[in-house]
Every structure is written in structure tokens, then in C-alpha cells.
């Protein structure tokens, strides 16, 4: 059984070695980019765009329902298709890359959750269509790790104030964002650092069911020990802005938008674009 004493003993080890956290994050960013995404990109493209288009006659009379806040209805909802085609290809490649990979059960987190060596990775798949902003990702509380400073029969994180960005209220308090992932896990007596990644697929819409994929962007959000404690990367100018929730939503469930250019200003490897050039998938820093 994990006790408060055991948890804080492991937390203190990481908190006293912040460079190690960034080194681990950079290492897994490199693995996910070069060993997982780049080798999978062509097959993801075919599943997402080419093969999906060929299957349109088998579902066009029963299209998926419009989702999200106030959908304008000018495109076919593509989120589930994206999550399945991208996620399945990523999991297949992960399973061949790591001999020790396990998928310990968690009821909430990123779309893909796995543990290997000394990390527990949350990788969430995002889709950005022509009506969305490719320079940010919308993130719910259960996809960001917190500082884990407190304990009440389990870890508790500090909340983080989100400010108004414009208008008469610019610079004043809007709401508190509540990260809900821990900075680390302990499983069978072994600590696993919590890593959070977002894989955004940016696509066009050229016709019914015809959604050609343009490029990907792989982003790594800092662990809570260096985001909301330690280095305090959360204070990076423009990194967090209010999400797309209205005032009727409970504060503890409100999302934020993570801006990718400020994220890349923390470390260049934190946000990398994967694109196709003359038939070859390549990567470049944002």
C-alpha cells in the first residue's frame, strides 16, 4: 500500500534533481518522434485519409453525430476516426519498440497510456481541422500533471490561475485550472515519472469524408514538478490561456489552451512538426 511517507520520499528525489526530469522528457520525446511517429506516419496517413475515403460508401448514410460546442456542421466529425487510426498505429509501434511495455489501468488520462522503464506516459491524440487553430491544443485537467504537493488519502495538486487575455479585464483572474494527473506514480514499489504528450493531426476538408492529413505536431508538456513547482514553466508568457468552456461549467473541470510557440520556447524539442516532403516523412522544430 502506498503511504504518504512513501510518496513524498519518491517525490523529493525527483524534486531535488530537476535536470533529470527534463533529460527523461527529452529522451522520450526523441523516442516517440524517431522510433514511433516517423516510422508510422505513412501508414497513419493512408489509414486516416486514403483508406478512409475508400470506405465512405459503407457509412455515408449513417454519419457520426456532430460533437463539440456549437458545431457549425460543415464537415464530418473526424475525431473518433483519428483517435482509432492514429492510436492503433502508435500502439502497434510502441509494442514492438519496448519489450517491457505495460498498460496499467487508469480511469482517466491521455488516449494512450503506457509504462516502461521508469516512466508512465500519457499520449493524447488531438485533431485540428480547417476551422481550428493549429498553434494551440485544448487540454482538459486530466491531461496535465500537477505539483503533487499535498496528500489526502492520495495525491493532491495545487491549482493554477488563468488570467483574462484581453478587454477591460485583461490581466485579472478568470478561473483556476486544476491539473489532475500526479507528477509520478508508484507501482509495485517502483516510481514512474509522469510524462504528458500531445500528438496533433492537422488536416484539410476537401469533400464529404475526404479529409487529407497535412502534418503532425508532437508536443511534450513539462511534468508538474517543473511546470508548477521548481522551474515554474507555467509562468512562461502566453503558455496557458482560457479553454473553450463557458461559465456554466464547474471550475475544476474547465480546460485550458496550451500555446505551442511558448511551449517550444521552453525547449525547442518540446514541439516538433512532422511533415511529408516529396514522399519522405521528416521533422522540424516549431
Does residue 127 fall inside a structural domain?
Answer: yes
- Respond yes or no: is residue 244 known to be catalytic: no
Is 76 in contact with 209 (CB distance < 8 Å)? Answer: yes
CATH number, domain with residue 54: 3.40.600.20
**178-214 tens-digit pLDDT:** 999 999 999 999 999 999 999 999 999 999 999 999 9
User: Which candidate in 93, 126, 180, 254 is catalytic?
Assistant: 126
pLDDT at residue 61, as a whole number: 94
Of 255, 254, 271, which is closest to residue 263 (Cα–Cα)?
Answer: 271
Q: What would the mean pLDDT of 141-162 be, rounded to a whole number?
A: 97
Q: What would the mean pLDDT of 203-227 be, rounded to a whole number?
A: 96
Does residue 70 fall inside a structural domain?
Answer: no
**131-143 tens-digit pLDDT:** 999 999 999 999 9
User: Which candidate in 21, 93, 111, 229 is catalytic?
Assistant: 111
Does residue 171 fall inside a structural domain?
Answer: yes
Query: What's the mean per-residue pLDDT of the chain?
Result: 94
Does residue 237 fall inside a structural domain?
Answer: yes
- Respond yes or no: is residue 162 known to be catalytic: no
Reduce the DSSP state of residue 106 to 3 states and report it.
coil
22 by Cβ neighbours in 10 Å (0-12 / 13-18 / 19+) ranks as buried
CB 277: neighbour CB atoms within 10 A? 8
**pLDDT confidence bin for 246, thresholds 50/70/90:** confident
**118-129 tens-digit pLDDT:** 999 999 999 999
Does residue 96 fall inside a structural domain?
Answer: yes
- Respond yes or no: is residue 125 known to be catalytic: yes
User: How many domains are there within the chain?
Assistant: 1
Does residue 69 fall inside a structural domain?
Answer: no
Query: Is a pLDDT exceeding 90 seen at residue 171?
Result: no
5 by Cβ neighbours in 10 Å (0-12 / 13-18 / 19+) ranks as exposed
Residue 139 is part of which domain span?
4-64+76-285
DSSP state of 21: H
- Respond yes or no: is residue 111 known to be catalytic: yes
Is 11 in contact with 21 (CB distance < 8 Å)? Answer: no
- The proportion of the chain whose per-residue pLDDT surpasses 90, expressed as a percent, equals 87
User: Which candidate in 21, 36, 125, 266 is catalytic?
Assistant: 125
Does residue 85 fall inside a structural domain?
Answer: yes
Does residue 144 fall inside a structural domain?
Answer: yes
Angle, vertex CA 243, rays to CA 238 and CA 245, nearest 5: 160
Provide the b/e sequence for 29-55 (b: ≥16 CB within 10 Å).
Answer: bebbbebbbbebbeebbebbbeebeee
Amino acid at each position: 500500500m502506498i503511504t504518504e511517507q512513501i510518496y513524498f520520499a519518491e517525490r523529493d528525489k525527483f524534486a531535488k534533481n530537476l535536470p533529470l526530469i527534463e533529460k527523461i522528457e527529452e529522451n522520450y520525446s526523441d523516442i516517440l518522434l524517431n522510433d514511433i511517429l516517423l516510422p508510422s506516419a505513412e501508414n497513419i496517413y493512408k489509414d486516416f485519409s486514403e483508406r478512409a475515403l475508400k470506405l465512405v460508401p459503407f457509412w455515408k448514410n449513417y454519419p457520426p453525430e456532430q460533437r463539440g460546442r456549437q458545431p457549425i456542421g460543415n464537415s464530418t466529425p473526424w475525431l473518433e476516426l483519428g483517435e482509432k487510426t492514429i492510436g492503433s498505429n502508435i500502439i502497434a509501434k510502441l509494442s514492438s519498440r519496448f519489450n517491457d511495455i505495460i498498460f496499467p489501468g487508469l480511469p482517466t488520462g491521455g488516449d494512450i497510456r503506457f509504462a516502461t522503464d521508469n516512466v508512465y506516459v500519457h499520449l493524447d491524440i488531438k485533431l485540428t481541422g480547417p476551422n481550428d487553430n493549429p498553434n494551440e491544443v485544448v487540454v482538459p485537467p486530466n491531461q496535465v500533471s500537477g505539483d503533487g504537493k499535498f496528500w489526502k488519502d492520495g495525491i493532491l495538486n495545487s491549482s493554477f490561475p488563468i488570467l483574462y487575455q484581453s478587454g477591460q479585464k485583461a490581466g485579472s483572474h478568470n478561473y483556476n485550472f486544476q491539473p489532475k494527473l500526479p507528477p509520478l506514480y508508484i507501482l509495485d514499489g517502483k516510481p514512474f515519472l509522469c510524462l504528458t504528450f500531445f500528438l496533433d493531426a492537422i488536416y484539410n476538408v476537401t469533400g464529404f469524408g475526404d479529409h487529407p492529413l497535412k502534418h503532425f505536431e508532437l508536443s511534450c508538456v513539462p511534468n508538474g514538478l517543473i511546470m508548477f513547482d521548481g522551474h515554474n514553466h507555467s509562468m512562461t508568457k502566453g503558455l496557458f490561456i482560457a479553454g473553450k468552456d463557458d461559465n456554466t461549467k464547474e471550475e475544476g473541470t474547465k480546460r485550458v489552451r496550451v500555446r505551442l510557440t511558448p511551449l517550444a520556447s521552453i525547449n525547442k524539442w518540446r514541439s516538433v512538426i512532422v511533415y511529408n516532403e516529396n514522399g519522405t516523412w521528416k521533422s522540424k522544430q516549431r
